Amino acid sequence: MGAADMPADESGRAGPAFTDSLTGLGNQRRLKEKVCSLAAERAADPAPFTVALVNLDGFKPINDLFGSQAGDEILCQVAHRLKACIPDGSLVTRHDGDEFAIILPLIFEAGSAERIGHLIKDVLSAPYDLGDRNVRLSASLGFAIYPFAGAEFDDLMKSAETALYRSKRRGRGQVTVYTREIAQEMRRSTQLEQALRNAIINDAVDVHFQPIVSLADQQVLGFEALARWIDADLGFVSPAVFVPLAEERGFIDTLSETLLRKAADAALTWPRDLFLSFNLSSVQLTDPSTTSRTLSILSSVGLDPARLELEITETAVMASASTASRIIEELRQAGVKISLDDFGTGQSSLGRLREFTFDKVKIDRAFVSAITTDRTSEHIVKAIITMCDGLNLKVVAEGIETEVEAEMLRGLGCAMGQGYYFGKPADAAATLRYLYRHYQDLTATRHRGQFIAG
């Protein structure tokens, strides 16, 4: 950066061309002028300085709910708070709606940037006064330090945007200082996203099925559908990686609908008394069209809705409780069963059982895996089973890996189980072979029983 990059009219820096009309702060042009000026001053001995981007979390819903006038009032209050809490010599500017920038000439390194970031975050999280009501917002921040994160204006701002984007991905109210490692991570995520999008288009994301059995006699009752993706270049990619990525990047609906169609097609080849269990994401439980889209897929494939069980987590339910409640009720009215997955790991699981209507509860594997060695886990599992029995809820224990675990759960009154002990996830063809062997073994066992009884 140099003098050639600076605005020609230095006298206009405080005039309308450099000022945000709503807040009175500098605008994006003023931001660039100040950054370029600082860089020019420090060209001989490039002493660091820091640029921060501040973005309000959840501002658009507030704006939509209370109106643009209320939104403008909040932005003016944000501007006032930022000016009041930044160090002397710093500059605040506003651009792109609810996004602000701060130039911090005396912040030289990451630790100081993080400290002031948390201070700003706390200042902006206090309630905003709208006269007849107060509203709360959080803010995400991304920091970039000159010249390490970029010696040119555009590069420096791109680094700050990368840091801000990473903060947004981590959740509300996060602070991130740009590093090369973060940039590499973001590039990997972008590459992974593109590969996943291509895999969906090319029908390369597959569905595998894991049996859910009766613990009394190990008879197969149904299968849970699990996403599997093996990329030609990346190899096996865990669903714990690519499913959240699809949620973050906004195409989980496409992925989920593709997998549900495949899973429902496969379920048509099974005996009709077996159910298909399928996971809904938190994003889908905030979309009112989820019910119609789900039922449309079942109708086009020809699978009876009564054979489908949709698994949801407590976290997903609480992302938008009222919408989730409506979706759950609509699906249940259509005959679809609803399971509460990972039970016991949420903040208030008992409350969810009171507020929502479920058909089944799945005990999280964290309790099941410890049941034979940890008395606390054993008592928790026993309490869950007893409680669900009283509420007329079916129970599935997940993550069963040994005969001892299976027998212990059966003794505690758990009716159903799932885990490697009964079968690992397998593709559609292998699942059919598994069923064929299973029913052969079951028939042979029954014949032996009749022979001995006779």
How high is the pLDDT of residue 445? 59
Q: What is the pLDDT of residue 4?
A: 36
Q: Which residues partner with 133 through β-bridges?
A: none
Tokens 């990525």 sit at which residue? 245
| Range with the poorest average pLDDT among 91-95, 169-173, 361-365 | 169-173
DSSP-derived secondary structure for 369-406? TTTTT-HHHHHHHHHHHHHHHHTT-EEEE----SHHHH
Whole-number Å distance between alpha carbons of 77 and 131: 13
In 105-249, where do the E strands start and end? 128-129, 134-135, 138-146, 175-177, 205-214, 220-231, 235-237
CATH number of 189-448: 3.20.20.450
- Per-residue b or e along 414-424, where b marks 16 or more CB atoms closer than 10 Å to that residue's CB: bbbbbbebbbe
C-alpha span between 330 and 328 (Å, rounded): 6
Confidence of residue 3 (pLDDT cuts 50, 70, 90): very low
For the chain, residues classed under CATH 3.30.70.270 are 3-178
Instruction: Using DSSP bridges, classify how beta strands 416-418 and 205-214 pair: parallel, antiparallel or unpaired.
Output: antiparallel
For 283-318, the DSSP string reads: TGGG-TTHHHHHHHHHHHHT--GGGEEEEEEHHHHH
| Ranges for all domains in the chain classified under CATH 3.20.20.450 | 189-448
| Window from 4-8, 71-75, 195-199, 207-211 with minimum mean pLDDT | 4-8
| Region at 168 (left for phi over 0; alpha for psi -120 to 50; beta for the rest) | alpha
Residue recorded with tokens 């003023």? 30
Considering the chain, what is the average pLDDT of its residues? 87
- Rounded to whole angstroms, how far apart are CA atoms 293 and 332? 15
Q: Please state, as a whole number, how many other Cβ atoms lie within 10 Å of the Cβ of residue 108.
A: 15
With tokens 């989980």, the residue in question is 252
Residue pLDDT, tens place only, 124-135: 999 998 887 888
What is the pLDDT at residue 366?
86
328, 352 contact by CB (below 8 A): no
Question: How high is the pLDDT of residue 444?
Answer: 60
Per-residue tokens: 287: 């979309």
Show the beta-strand stretches assigned E in 191-336: 205-214, 220-231, 235-237, 275-279, 308-313
With a cut of 50, say whether residue 12 has pLDDT above it: no
Task: For domain 3-178, give the fold.
Answer: Alpha-Beta Plaits (3.30.70)
Q: What is the pLDDT of residue 349?
A: 56
How far is residue 20's CA from residue 392's CA, in Å, rounded to a whole number? 61
| Most confident range, picked from 177-181, 187-191, 438-442 | 177-181
128 φ, ψ (degrees, to nearest 5): -105, 130
Q: What is the pLDDT of residue 101?
A: 96
The overall pTM is greater than 0.85:
no
Per residue in 84-136, pLDDT (tens digit) is 999 999 999 998 789 999 999 999 999 999 999 999 999 999 999 888 788 88
Per-residue pLDDT, 133: 83
